[in-house]
A and B are shown apart, each in its own frame.
Chain A
Amino acid sequence: MTVQQKIFALIIGAGLFLVIIELVRRRKLAEEYSFLWLLTGFGIIVLILWYDLLEWLTRLIGARTPTTTLFIFGFVFLLLINLYFSLKLTKLTSQVKDLVQKLAISEKADR
């Protein structure tokens, strides 16, 4: 991995970390949802600084270059967070349905 690649990845990782903390501070993002994102930023930084771990992971998954490993993990993360959001969305949809039904019924009962 070249020095440029390392610097770029570190900037991405640290930038992600700062943006997430700032969003939580402004109450734009709940702590609950920040967990996966902070973990990713942390993961990127650890893998860049601890290069042996990245090389070991690269050999483990049979990739050619460490950059590929980073890409694969990035992709897996996006997959997981999408799945997590789908689960949350399903729950929210069903809660909104229950809420609206309850509201409609209680408004009818009041009249």
Chain B
Amino acid sequence: MSYELHNFAIIIPAYNETGRVAATIAGIKKVSDADIIVVSDGSTDNTVNEASEAGATVVELPFNLGYGAALQTGFKYSLKRGYRFAVQMDADGQHDPMSIKTLIEPVIADKVDVVIGSRFLDKGNYKAPFVRRMGMYFFGIITLVLTGRRITDSTSGFQALNKKVMEFYASAAYPVDYPDADVIIMLHRQGFRFKEVPVIMHNAKKRSMHGGILNPLYYIFKMMLSIFVTLLRKE
């Protein structure tokens, strides 16, 4: 059985990704004719022009709102345009377009609501920095305890989701700064079906959105608090 890779949106949040975003879009166009939506998060470089010349629909935020908020803009736009499925991926070329099919198929087949692309399920060539790896391991254990599911890559920005999850991500529950293990726990508590699949990821030329910017200690605090209040919420 083969799926035509269209009728869904590919959402790409981009902040100052000149020189990378066009290549990412070209890579996607080789394997899929899905509509590509780039959300420029207040980029000050040539990202907007580059993305629209490469054939993407560009939604332009007037100033930087953060990764989560940019992504959420993409979901809101997709819902408004009536897309039933979406794939979110990074602009910097870290996510291999070859994996789009792997991600979207179980969602279109209605086997799950969200598919999270993991770097770590399979032996890939991706090596995360030590601090990041420790963080992933730590929050991975918390996720395992709270959801009973082993999620190897909770920070993954390479996901496929259906309309129901898009609606949830478009709500106030979605974090504006950086979605992580807290979102996985929210998905679990909302009763969404999710699974991880191995995807191909490359070491990015530049980590533009996260890592380095967020102070690790503040990040751990924020994530712990976020998970804690998620558990306190009844919904």
A residues near B (Cβ < 8 Å) are 21, 24-25, 27, 31-32, 34-35, 38, 95, 98-99, 102
Contacts and interface: CB of A to CB of B under 8 A. Distances in A.
Interface of B: 62-63, 172-173, 175, 177, 218, 221-222, 225-226, 228-229, 232-233
Contacts of B225: 24, 31, 34, 38
Contact of A21 (B177, B221, B222, B229): B229
B221 to A, nearest CB: 7
Contact of B172 (A27, A35, A98): A27
B177 A32 contact: yes
A15 to B, nearest CB: 17
B168 to A, nearest CB: 14
A98 B175 CA distance: 23
B48 to A, nearest CB: 14
Contacts of B172: 27
Given A25-B232, A27-B172, A32-B177, A98 B62 contact: yes
A26 B16 CA distance: 34
Nearest to B64: A95
> Closest 5 CB pairs between A and B?
A25-B229, A25-B232, A102-B62, A24-B229, A31-B222
B233 to A, nearest CB: 6
B218 A35 contact: yes
A99 B226 CA distance: 29
B233 A25 contact: yes
A27 B173 CA distance: 8
B62 A35 contact: no
Contact of B222 (A27, A32, A95, A102): A32
Report which residue of A31, A95, A99 has the largest number of chain B beta carbons within 10 angstroms of its beta carbon: A31
B63 A95 contact: yes
Contact of B226 (A31, A38, A98, A102): A31
A32 B221 CA distance: 10
B222 A99 contact: no
B223 to A, nearest CB: 9
Contacts of B233: 25
A5 B219 CA distance: 35
A99 B63 CA distance: 9
A29 B233 CA distance: 14
Q: Give the one of B63, B175, B226 with max A CB within 10 A.
A: B63
Nearest to A23: B229
